[in-house]
Structure 1
Amino acid sequence: MPVALIVFAALIAFDQWLKLWSVANLQPYVLKPLIENVLSLTLVYNTGAAWGMLGGATIILAILRLVVGIGILIYLWKDKPRGLTFWSLVLIATGAVGNAIDGLRLGKVVDMFYSHQLSWVTQKIHQQDFPIFNIADICVVSGTILLIAASLFAKKPESKQKASEA
Structure 2
Amino acid sequence: MMVVGEGAAPVAMVKKLRMVTGIVALFALVLDQVSKQWVLTSLLPCLSGPPGPGCAVNSPFIEVTGFFNMVVAWNFGVSFSMFYSEHDLMPLALSLLAVIICAGLLWWGRHNDKGLVALATGMVVGGAVGNVIDRFRFGAVADFLDFHVAGWHWPAFNVADCCIVVGVCLLLIDGLFSGAERR
Q: Do both share a fold (TM > 0.5)?
A: yes
Name the larger-Rg structure. Answer: 2
Cross-structure match for 2:165: 141
Distance 2:99 2:76 in 1: 16
Q: Which has the higher helix share?
A: 1
Q: What is the one-letter code of the residue matched to 1:58? A: P
The whole-number CA distance in structure 2 between the counterparts of 1:105 and 1:67 is 19
TM-score by length of 1: 0.77
**Distance across 1 between alignment mates of 2:122 and 2:35:** 20
Cα distance in 1 for residues equivalent to 2:154 and 2:91: 20
**Residue 80 in 1 paired to residue 109 in 2?**
no
What is the aligned residue count?
Answer: 149
- TM-score for both structures, normalised by structure 2: 0.71
Question: Partners in 1 of 2:37 and 2:104 — Cα distance?
Answer: 27
Distance 1:83 1:41, change over 3 A: same
* Partner residue in 1 for 2:34: 17
Q: Within the alignment, does 1:98 sit opposite 2:122 as a pair? A: no
Q: Which amino acid aligns with 1:65?
A: A
Residue ranges of structure 2 left out of the alignment (5+ in a row) = 1-17, 46-57
- Aligned 8 A contact 1:29 1:44 in 2: no
Query: Residues 25-73 of structure 1, C-alpha deviation per residue, up to 9 Å, x if partnerless?
Result: 3164832133x12332111111112232211322211111122123323
Deviation at 1:112, TM superposition (A): 0.7
Unpaired runs of 5+ residues, structure 1, are 124-128, 160-166
CA-atom RMSD in angstroms: 2.3
Aligned-pair identity (%): 28
The corresponding residue for 2:94 is: 61
2:74 to 40, 45, 56: 45
Judging changes above 3 Å, is the alpha-carbon distance between structure 1 residues 158 and 141 closer, same or farther for their aligned structure 2 residues?
closer
The amino acid of 2:60's aligned partner reads V
